[in-house]
Chains A and B, each alone.
Chain A
């Protein structure tokens, strides 16, 4: 059996994590945002979310970081998809994640204060980018310390997990699955087995 759902198992393997405990009240902001998909950019401010694990300042920083990683551009970003809430849920269930996120957020904020004399949240977009780039690009920059890189990697991974499992995220990908077909979908490029003559990329 089993042997075959490679990508799906890949996802699950990502998460080797230890136990924590808390109950989660639900995806408050996300549920809100969801109701407005397709109605254009919503102007309504979501009701306040009360984080389960993070402190309010930590949560604000987390929310800001997720939006920097997957920003609102032509399509909605991480904030509208409620990614920070998803991360709060996952982290609330696991003590190792709690340690990693808390340490990482504090580290980043301290670094911002050290370099720019202001918190990450109040730093300018240029400063924020300058703080994150050494963590994100391994080859372009000299090592910025293991802790920072590992934190950013985890943060980005959970941001991706949280974003692409919402209706917003799957719409962004134009996810074609979980639909019903009458026959198994076939490659439409009959005369082009090597797919050398496809129309120009859409993106």
Chain B
């Protein structure tokens, strides 16, 4: 900083522009607050960077990625494909404790993972918020469904969700656009699922089956997770950031990698230190309030790395809970195979939404919390039909004309079922800072400690049996059941490391995401969630973030943020 220059102080600094940050930015800017947003990567230009409408032969490695680069990539995750460029980080900026496997794809582009998300959008219900009271494990959320419901309704209106009213005890209904239609294999599996007593229903999907709030309807091209050129599903760059920018209250700094929170001599937040990705220079930006919404582990890394006289173990960590309670979804192919009914039938456009059309919402432990050998419950995503690539080829033996014909005959038939199993919080699962390793910007790396627990592995066994039963009851042939689930982190649904709660000794933030210790520091991403539930997190991140933003505005206006006393309620 040049001596004598008055330093600019923004009302609010927001780190991150994904579901959490995007909602904060929009809400605050529209309320008239001056916001500086930091984003670790660049802005994408959908017309240039999204190549979702290309056929496989129009990209050099046909969508399989350059083999030479694949080895260096973190994950082999679909988003990091030839259909979208420069959005996903190639550097591995985390370490794992001995015995931990963890896959952590990070999207650094403006809008984060909302550019490429799965769009599945079931909301949390009281069975989730009050799970601890029901089954005796861990603690309840500091909020109820009734409290969250109005925010869920507002986000549904903003985003546009296609689904149906389903009256499921674990799945509160909302206000919906028309659902996606079921395809042949959906209807076959639905009959089979009914026989086994498993629900098979339209998913809640944040994808527009008709024009909504000025956003165009989906054109069903089917390459959604490569990014949508026209913005027919929710992402912050299409849905939230334009209205924030229109207010003139937003300054968005791209390629700004947040390093730590700056504090004053009372330990209150004064701004953020960040590294410019291109120059590697360290810079500072100042604000009256700081909101961290960099995604669960990234936010935790920033807070843990913010050590000072006041905060020797990381800012806002007087509870010692910062980094604890890491939860994830256990994903795995519980069953896959094919439906002989459809052998040799004409091809059909089954893959018009890159999955998410149907789901099998939680059906376990609904009437009594201890019906099963595990507590809580999981859901399953079925998928199948005519996809671009016949990945079932390795289930067919031989070569020659018979092999080629069998690939063609099987084309409409494959189905698979992917689990979404919540892990319970465990003392073994947490994030701390690696004492040695630093990333290429000199920032100490987070270190991940994680193991699947008994409860989730029991669900996994249960799911494999139930899904195979559904497939067989549908007249299908089961030809693959995964022995092992996917690597932890695969779902990209990590949550919990800045847990919210009413007790400042046992949680990092209050029920709005304001940290207990530092009244002008907020967390607005999935790290505040108390547990992971069987639902995907993005839609609830938007909802909690909307609520946090309005609370923040209220606090800002009454200036209670300037005292260190924590005001709740």
Contacts and interface: CB of A to CB of B under 8 A. Distances in A.
A143 to B, nearest CB: 15
Interface stretch (A4-12, A39-47, A112-120): A4-12
B397 A9 contact: no
Contacts of B339: 195
B168 interface: no
Nearest to B162: A184
Band of interface residues on B: 35 or more
A145 interface: no
Interface string B174-201: 0000001111101110110000000000
A109 B54 CA distance: 39
A5 B345 contact: no
A13 B76 contact: yes
28 contacts: A2-B79, A3-B418, A4-B356, A4-B383, A5-B355, A6-B418, A7-B414, A10-B391, A15-B64, A15-B67, A15-B76, A20-B67, A77-B404, A136-B399, A164-B389, A165-B389, A170-B56, A172-B408, A176-B349, A184-B218, A187-B181, A187-B183, A189-B184, A193-B191, A194-B191, A195-B188, A203-B344, A203-B409
Interface in B362-404: 381, 383, 386-391, 393-394, 397-401, 403-404
A57 B263 CA distance: 69
Interface in B61-83: 61-68, 70-72, 76-79, 81
B520 interface: no
Contacts of B416: 6-7
Contacts of B118: 1-5
Interface residues of A, number: 80
A90 B55 contact: no
Interface of B: 53, 55-57, 60-68, 70-72, 76-79, 81, 105, 113, 116-120, 180-184, 186-188, 190-191, 209, 218-223, 225, 329, 331, 333, 336, 339, 341-357, 381, 383, 386-391, 393-394, 397-401, 403-405, 407-409, 411, 414, 416, 418, 420, 475, 490-493, 536, 538
A196 B491 CA distance: 36
A183 B180 CA distance: 8
Contacts of A182: 219
A24 B62 CA distance: 14
A16 B76 CA distance: 9
A198 B341 contact: yes
Contacts of A189: 184, 187
A186 B183 contact: yes
Which of B76, B113, B182, B388 is the most central at the interface, judged by chain A CB atoms within 10 Å of its CB?
B388
B184 A1 contact: no
A93 B345 contact: no
A8 B225 CA distance: 10
Given A175-B347, A178-B53, A202-B346, A156 B225 contact: no
A173 B183 contact: no
A146 interface: no
A166 B387 contact: no
Which of A69, A160, A196 is the most central at the interface, judged by chain B CB atoms within 10 Å of its CB?
A160
A2 to B, nearest CB: 5
A12 B81 contact: yes
A157 B67 contact: no
A197 to B, nearest CB: 10
B163 to A, nearest CB: 13
Contact of A19 (B72, B190, B408): B72
A195 B341 contact: yes
Contacts of B409: 201, 203
Given A12-B78, A195-B342, A18 B71 contact: yes
Given A1-B113, A3-B491, A18-B71, A195 B187 contact: yes
Contacts of B184: 187, 189, 195
B404 A179 contact: no
A68 B403 CA distance: 10
Interface string A128-168: 01001000111000000000000001001100111011110
